[in-house]
Amino acid sequence: MQITTQAGGGPVGAVILLHKAIGGGMFCLILTWLGIVVHGYLRIKSYNAKHGATGLGATAGGWNYLLHSPIVVILLSVAFGVGFYLTVCWSSHY
């Protein structure tokens, strides 16, 4: 990839590559978040079917627990990093 410069002297190609990489990371982050939300929704729905609306699903914390779960934060961080890396590799080759 050839890096061209603007009239002011800044590298344009590197900025475009960074924006593409951030976009790719955000795309993977959104896909992972949707997967986590769908998985959490299906688990809560199955718990409510077994225990009723006032049972385990209502007292387990629901979405608040999901948002503060360490594994969710780790998965979202890894998803952003993987998307960022893959986008940089793809953009630098094409």
Residue among 70, 71, 64, 80 at smallest CA distance from 30: 80
- CA distances 68 to 2, 6, 9, 42, Å, are 43, 44, 44, 18
- pTM for this model (two decimals): 0.67
pLDDT (tens digit, 9 = 90+) per residue, 20-64?
888 899 999 999 989 988 888 888 788 777 777 665 555 556 667
pLDDT (tens digit, 9 = 90+) per residue, 31-43?
998 998 888 888 8
